[in-house]
Amino acid sequence: MTTIPTAPEVGTAVPEVVTVGEAMAVLRATGPIRLAPPMELSVAGAEANVAIGLARLGHRTCWVGRVGDDPFGALVLRTLRAEGVDTTHARTDTQGRPTGLLVREDGIGDLATVHYYRRHSAGSALHPDDVLTTLNPATRILHLTGITPALSPTAAQAVLTAATRARALGVTVSLDVNHRARLWTHQQARETLLPLARHADILIASADELHLLAPDPALDEQHTIAALLAQGTREVVITRGGDGASVTTGRDGTHHAPARSVPVVDVIGAGDAFVAGYLSGVLDGLTAEQRLHRATATAAFAVATRGDWEGLPTRTDLTLLDTPAGTTLR
């Protein structure tokens, strides 16, 4: 197994947040692909999106993963670096594995279909050796999702290795379920995510994903959250789409925040934006209510713009949602 690490970034400080996962090239079609519509080329991947979102908010972030030795891989690394994300620990695969590709086609209304071309991709070859040297006791958060462990056995082991190492170093572990039914079955997801969740300090799931983490999938939401807190999770965050989000901690109970009201342009990437805002609040020492407020604000920027991460806000931008409607800044 031969990989080429990217060139070290001189003077880079220890990142506050490390994310581990697959970043892909994205082709966004403006209509049915069979009709050969115009396409836009970009980059996406849940963990990369979160890293970009946090960097936009002023935090030091590092993305760990593999890309192919191809133009798409160069695009991924160039985009992340341009957004201020440290790619020192990213690796370029030299075994002929390509960078993954995601193709999205828009349908009627806000309906979109996503096609993945990531089988045997460079990202799926992620290995525990790729992550062991990336974590430092000064790192504050390791962020993982349930997407990467679905890609391959070695990727699943790499994610679990990262979580185990982070807990040993006292680094907060954040896990976003982010279930992808096209990658694996619910049973396969549960078998992998249950042991991984035991290492997580912060668990994030949509209301319809929470059962994947439940010791007993028949438990209702309230009892599942209680069980997760009892096993050592510090906070359980539930996203509810247009109904906002909630967070439950053993110390502060449950807090709820409504979704921010904005014109909806593109909902893909909203969950990653929410996570970036929430973890930013954790890094800044905000209260549970304040963390949710920031998270719903960043998610609002995502849904109000086209693209997975392109419309994510800076820290200054966050205040814009609190200005009166129709305000013109001069």
Q: What structural domains and CATH numbers belong to the chain?
A: 3-22+46-99+120-311 (3.40.1190.20)
Name residue 252's amino acid.
Answer: D
Percent of the chain with pLDDT over 90: 77
pLDDT value for 11:
41
Residues 6+ apart with CB under 8 A from 87: 6, 9, 62, 63, 77, 80, 81
| Best CA proximity match to 3, nearest among 104, 123, 113, 111 | 123
- pLDDT tens digits, one per residue of 16-41: 999 999 999 999 998 889 999 999 99
Please enumerate, as own/partner, the contacts of 183-189 that have beta carbons within 8 Å and a separation of 24 or more: 183/116, 183/147, 183/150, 183/151, 184/150, 186/212, 188/150, 189/146, 189/150
DSSP-derived secondary structure letter, 75: H
The rounded distance, in Å, linking the Cα atoms of 218 and 229 is 17
Q: How many helices (H) and strands (E) would you count in the chain?
A: 8, 16
Burial 299-319 (b: 16+ CB within 10 A, else e): bbbbbbbbbbbbbbbeeeebe
DSSP-derived secondary structure letter, 308: S
pLDDT band at 261 (very low <50, low <70, confident <90, very high): confident
- Pairing relationship of beta strands 141-145 and 17-20 according to DSSP bridges: parallel
- pLDDT tens digits, one per residue of 216-238: 888 999 999 999 999 999 999 99
The structure tokens listed for 134 are 């990336």
Q: Which of 272, 284, 317, 322 is catalytic?
A: 272
The rounded distance, in Å, linking the Cα atoms of 122 and 136 is 25
| Span between the terminal Cα atoms of the chain, in Å | 56
| pTM for this entry | 0.92
Q: Are 170 and 137 in contact (CB under 8 A)?
A: yes
How would DSSP label each residue in 79-114? HHHHTTEE-TT-EEE-SSPPPPEEEEEE-STT-EEE
Residue 106 annotated to the active site: no
pLDDT at position 7 over 60: no
